[in-house]
Amino acid sequence: MSENSSAIQSVLHETRTFPPSEEFSKHAIISSEEQYEQMWNRAKDDPAGFWGDIAQTELDWFKMYDSVMDGKMPNTKWFTGGKINVSYNCLDRHLTTWRKNKAAIIWEGETGEVRTFTYQQLHHEVCKFASVLDKLGVEAGDRVTLYMPMIPELAIAMLACARVGATHSIIFGGFSADAIADRNHDAQSKLVITADGGWRRGKEVPLKVNVDASMEKSPSVEKVIVVRRTGGDVNMQDGRDYWWHDLMEDAVADRECTHLDSEHPLFILYTSGSTGKPKGVLHTTAGYLLGTTMTSRWVFDLKAEDTYWCTADIGWITGHSYIVYGPLSNGATTMMYEGAPNWPDEGRFWEMIERHKVNIFYTAPTAIRAFIKWGDQWPEQHDLSSLRLLGTVGEPINPEAWMWYHKMIGAERCPIVDTWWQTETGGIMISPLPGVTATKPGSCTKPLPGVVPAIVTEKGEPLGPNEGGLLVMTQPWPHMLRTLYGDHERFVETYFAKFDGKYYFAGDGARKDEDGYYWVMGRVDDVLNVSGHRLSTMEIESALVSHESVAEAAVVGFPHDLKGEGICCFVIPKGEVASGDAAVAAQKELIAHVRNQIGAIATPDQIRFTSALPKTRSGKIMRRLLRDIAAGRESAGDTTTLEDYSVLAKLRDTDE
Ligand code: PRX
């Protein structure tokens, strides 16, 4: 947390409101304020009754649970005694309905090919791959790493892991070999599933080479399965590496679902925290499934006839919950796209919406800012009239970007759901309900049923309307994380210690306005939000300091037109501070080094060399001042505790 943030000032005061049309409300799954309030109040006053009723009607169980919720935050359990399987709920149960021959996944490769899987076909592939997992000795409870491009085999692998009870750990393709090794090691993964590469902006992004490079530091990994996607050269190691297509050739498709406990670990997903190594957020089976099923239905008003497209990468939580598990559990049609939004040109997304007649479109503010920059001529060339609902996720959306989305993509007709949630929350927490909520640009509006947030001071005291403070959750919910893999102490410390176990602390600052609408103002810890992805300043600092030439480093964010936040690194070299060509060469080297250590997503935007960093008398780096310098603002804050005033002036003069 920054030095001076007990009071968070809000400067945004947006007054426009956009109620849903009568027509939309009439057909919506949740269609009136009364219905919402009744659900919300019931869930608040009687969470076990509320979630229990839905769990019985909306999920298929092998054995009904004994109790809905046990324990208190931080240690809650849901649906104990129950036996269930996520793969069954996403696939098998649809096969006895008219949905069996309906598209489950429509996939488009960057190179233009389209593959469609009906529920029956997807079930077939998943059963086959589940039997491959059996054959390779993967058992319920084992961890499996997936490091794959956005291809159907990724969804198939996830659902097959869920089928046999293996806990998947998906690593986004933008991470480096070192990051894979760290995660393999932390999870003690037994198997890695990857591909030769994937296509992105017309180029092959190699994946298998990174897996190869991670192997030396991944002693737990016994086998690697490789999907052939690009046809690029790969090195296959005998006895360790297998081609997906070879294994699938003689696999049989009769693999039934393992009956798993409600709290069986479904997946680990690593995310950045403010200190130390990435955190392995653990989600379990029944609660997560229930949360993603219901939030998909409520927030996206998801119906069987919809073609729904979430543009996230499955390497992030959004893809887990809202490309794969939530939509498939609902029997919806989910689109999946492999590549870049500007390939072969900046009209790609709009062309795809027109081609597939997409009805619901869910993307990120960082993408919307890019669309705005590329120009209106791209969406204008396409018929977007199939759209009926738009969504955003990942960071606060600024009202002007919201208005552009509303006018240019939604033709002032489609409700926009600005969904606030986190890797840890598993599913959407605060969001408009499209048939109910009058939206305000920039606000994620109101909590969903089952979500009881509050805005509090550092001491946990409640704040009044429009007073900025810390966003907390005062009640547990079924789809919340259960622990940080292998480090329960850190889990308690990170999310619950601040308020003595009473609240879940989200790490975000927010205010609630006089209408009860939430306005999230961003992270209050040392976590950057770069293009909607959380990056720890601490991890980037460690990567920099691991370079032989660096003595000390401090990383801060600064406002960036497209990415939301850019990465600015202040670096104290071990020798003299270089200048001119030598400085440029050193900057390049450090940028490459960080990419190598963490991956392309953490590429620094600025490296500034300095001979000292501003510190308090107790030796803490004054990040607030560095943020001002990185943003080009004069520092107006209190500097009386600064150890060396001259440091500030020197930093301001450093090259970018
Ligand atoms: O700061 C909030 C921001 O993204 C953080 C969660 O990041 P991550 O775990 O990577 O998950 C992103 C996708 C769910 C939050 O703590 N955030 C996410 N959605 C919003 C948001 N900030 C404002 N408005 C949102 N709609």
CATH code of 344's domain: 3.40.50.12780
What's the pLDDT at 272?
Answer: 87
Where does 574-635 show beta strands of DSSP type E?
A: 606-609
Q: Which of 422, 473, 508, 517 to mutate to test the pocket of ligand 1 (most atoms within 8 A of CB)?
A: 422
Q: Which atom of ligand 1 is nearest to the CA of 430?
A: 26
Distance from CA of residue 540 to its chain's centroid? 19
- For residue 395, how far is its CA from the centre of ligand 1 (angstroms)? 5
Q: Are residues 312 and 242 in the same domain?
A: no
Q: Are residues 151 and 80 in the same domain?
A: no
Q: Of the residues 409, 426, 451, which one is the last residue of a structural domain?
A: 451
Nearest to 125 by CA among 260, 241, 255, 223: 255
202 three-state secondary structure: coil
CATH code of 155's domain: 3.40.50.980
Give the span between the Cα atoms of 321 and 311, in whole angstroms: 12
Whether the per-residue pLDDT at 160 is higher than 60: the answer is: yes
Q: Tell me which residue has its CA closest to atom 13 in ligand 1.
A: 394
Q: Which of 172, 366, 393, 518 to mutate to test the pocket of ligand 1 (most atoms within 8 A of CB)?
A: 393
- For residue 419, how far is its CA from the centre of ligand 1 (angstroms)? 8
What's the pLDDT at 647?
Answer: 73
What's the pLDDT at 285?
Answer: 98
Q: Are residues 294 and 254 in the same domain?
A: no
What's the pLDDT at 5?
Answer: 41
Whether the per-residue pLDDT at 655 is higher than 60: the answer is: no
In a domain, 245, yes or no: yes
Q: Of the residues 402, 429, 451, which one is the last residue of a structural domain?
A: 451
In a domain, 29, yes or no: yes
Q: Tell me which residue has its CA closest to atom 21 in ligand 1.
A: 395
In a domain, 519, yes or no: no
Q: Are residues 347 and 419 in the same domain?
A: yes
For 97, residues 6+ apart whose C-beta sits below 8 A from its C-beta are 331
Q: Tell me which residue has its CA closest to atom 15 in ligand 1.
A: 422
Q: Which atom of ligand 1 is nearest to the CA of 506?
A: 16
Using pLDDT thresholds of 50, 70 and 90, give the confidence band for residue 103.
Answer: very high
Can you read off the two tokens belonging to residue 11? 């400067």
Give the span between the Cα atoms of 634 and 655, in whole angstroms: 16
Q: Of the residues 451, 481, 504, which one is the last residue of a structural domain?
A: 451
Whether the per-residue pLDDT at 14 is higher than 60: the answer is: yes
What's the pLDDT at 651?
Answer: 73
Q: Which atom of ligand 1 is nearest to the CA of 444?
A: 26
CATH code of 576's domain: 3.30.300.30
Q: Are residues 441 and 302 in the same domain?
A: yes
- For residue 392, how far is its CA from the centre of ligand 1 (angstroms)? 10
Q: Are residues 76 and 125 in the same domain?
A: no
Q: What is the pLDDT of residues 231-268, one digit of tens each?
A: 999 999 999 999 999 999 999 999 999 999 999 999 99
Q: Are residues 72 and 164 in the same domain?
A: no
| Bridge partners, residue 114, by sequence | 108
In a domain, 66, yes or no: yes
What's the pLDDT at 12?
Answer: 63
Domain count, the chain: 3
Averaged pLDDT for residues 160-172: 98
- For residue 422, how far is its CA from the centre of ligand 1 (angstroms)? 5
Whether the per-residue pLDDT at 78 is higher than 60: the answer is: yes
Q: Are residues 579 and 442 in the same domain?
A: no
Averaged pLDDT for residues 8-16: 69
Using pLDDT thresholds of 50, 70 and 90, give the confidence band for residue 3.
Answer: very low
Q: Which of 274, 529, 565 to mutate to test the pocket of ligand 1 (most atoms within 8 A of CB)?
A: 529
Q: Which of 421, 431, 531 to mutate to test the pocket of ligand 1 (most atoms within 8 A of CB)?
A: 421
Give the span between the Cα atoms of 68 and 51, in whole angstroms: 7
Q: Tell me which residue has its CA closest to atom 26 in ligand 1.
A: 420
In a domain, 243, yes or no: yes
Q: What is the pLDDT of residues 260-309, one digit of tens each?
A: 999 999 999 999 887 778 999 999 999 999 999 999 999 999 999 999 99
What's the pLDDT at 15?
Answer: 81
Q: Which of 311, 368, 390, 520 to mutate to test the pocket of ligand 1 (most atoms within 8 A of CB)?
A: 520
Q: What is the mean pLDDT of the chain?
A: 94
Can you read off the two tokens belonging to residue 345? 């040109």
In a domain, 494, yes or no: no
> Residue 399 CB: number of other CB atoms within 10 A?
17
In a domain, 106, yes or no: no
Q: Are residues 253 and 288 in the same domain?
A: no
Nearest to 480 by CA among 288, 649, 343, 648: 288
- The b/e string for 271-302 (b: 16+ C-beta within 10 A; e otherwise) is bbbbbebbbbbbbbbbbbbbbbbbbbbbbbbb
Is the previous residue joined to 344 through a cis bond, with omega within 30 degrees of 0?
A: yes
Q: Are residues 291 and 249 in the same domain?
A: no
Q: Are residues 631 and 535 in the same domain?
A: yes
Give the span between the Cα atoms of 283 and 480, in whole angstroms: 7
Q: What is the pLDDT of residues 593-644, one digit of tens each?
A: 999 999 999 999 999 999 888 888 777 888 888 999 999 876 556 656 666 6
Q: Which atom of ligand 1 is nearest to the CA of 533?
A: 10
Report phi then psi at 515, rounded to 5.
Answer: -95, 5
- For residue 21, how far is its CA from the centre of ligand 1 (angstroms)? 28
What's the pLDDT at 277?
Answer: 84
Long-range Cβ pairs for the range 499-504 (8 Å, 24+): 499/456, 499/460, 499/472, 500/460, 501/72, 501/73, 501/74, 502/73, 502/460, 502/474, 503/73, 503/454, 503/456, 503/460, 503/472, 503/473, 503/474, 504/73, 504/74, 504/472, 504/473, 504/476, 504/480
- For residue 300, how far is its CA from the centre of ligand 1 (angstroms)? 18
Averaged pLDDT for residues 315-325: 98
In a domain, 511, yes or no: no
pLDDT > 70: what percent of the chain?
Answer: 95
Whether the per-residue pLDDT at 387 is higher than 70: the answer is: yes
Asked if residue 354 lies in contact with residue 543, where contact means CB atoms within 8 angstroms, the answer is no
Q: How far is CA 357 from CA 104, 354, 386, 424, in A?
A: 15, 5, 5, 33
Start-to-end Cα distance in the chain: 26
Report phi then psi at 378, rounded to 5.
Answer: -70, -55
Averaged pLDDT for residues 462-476: 96
Q: Tell me which residue has its CA closest to atom 5 in ligand 1.
A: 422
Q: Are residues 130 and 171 in the same domain?
A: yes
Give the span between the Cα atoms of 259 and 376, in whole angstroms: 51
Can you read off the two tokens belonging to residue 429? 């927490």
For the chain, counts of helices (H) and of strands (E): 21, 30
Asked if residue 191 lies in contact with residue 136, where contact means CB atoms within 8 angstroms, the answer is yes
Q: What is the pLDDT of residues 193-213, one digit of tens each?
A: 999 999 999 999 999 999 999
Averaged pLDDT for residues 214-223: 98
Residues with CB under 6 A from ligand 1: 271, 317-318, 393-396, 418-423, 444, 506-508, 520, 522-523, 529, 533-534
Asked if residue 197 lies in contact with residue 232, where contact means CB atoms within 8 angstroms, the answer is yes
Name which residue leads in pLDDT, 620 or 20: 20
What's the pLDDT at 9?
Answer: 61
- For residue 494, how far is its CA from the centre of ligand 1 (angstroms)? 17
HSE of 91 in the Cβ direction (CA atoms, 13 Å)? 27
Using pLDDT thresholds of 50, 70 and 90, give the confidence band for residue 2.
Answer: very low
Asked if residue 392 lies in contact with residue 419, where contact means CB atoms within 8 angstroms, the answer is yes
Q: Which atom of ligand 1 is nearest to the CA of 527?
A: 1
- Domain region containing 403: 22-85+284-451
